[in-house]
Amino acid sequence: MNIESITKVTQDIVLEGNKPAKEVAQTIGKPYSTLLREINPFDDNAKLGAGTLMDILKATNEVRPLEYIAQCIGYTLKPRVN
């Protein structure tokens, strides 16, 4: 599994998703510039942590990074039925 690819998928949902990136940053309690660095797959000096990824998923209601991870390890992600 390529970490940069997970980071790129996350970058896409933050920058092009249903919620403005500055709002995502505020929701997860990170400075906007820090968030942008952490989701930049080409910035070797900042990394996207699992906790931040979880916060982003909750803030955006997006599951594409989880779907990508599941696909890479041979699984399919499906929503839980309540």
pLDDT tens per residue across span 15-60: 999 999 999 999 999 999 999 999 999 998 989 999 999 999 999 9
Helix or strand holding residue 10 (H, E): helix 3-16
Report the pLDDT averaged over residues 57-75.
93
d(CA 8, CA 21) in angstroms, rounded, equals 14
Answer yes or no: is 65 within a domain: yes
d(CA 20, CA 69) in angstroms, rounded, equals 24
pLDDT at 65 over 70: yes
Q: Domain total for the chain?
A: 1
Domain that holds residue 37: 3-72
Are 32 and 22 spatial neighbours (Cβ–Cβ below 8 Å)? yes
Answer yes or no: is 31 within a domain: yes
Are 73 and 1 spatial neighbours (Cβ–Cβ below 8 Å)? yes
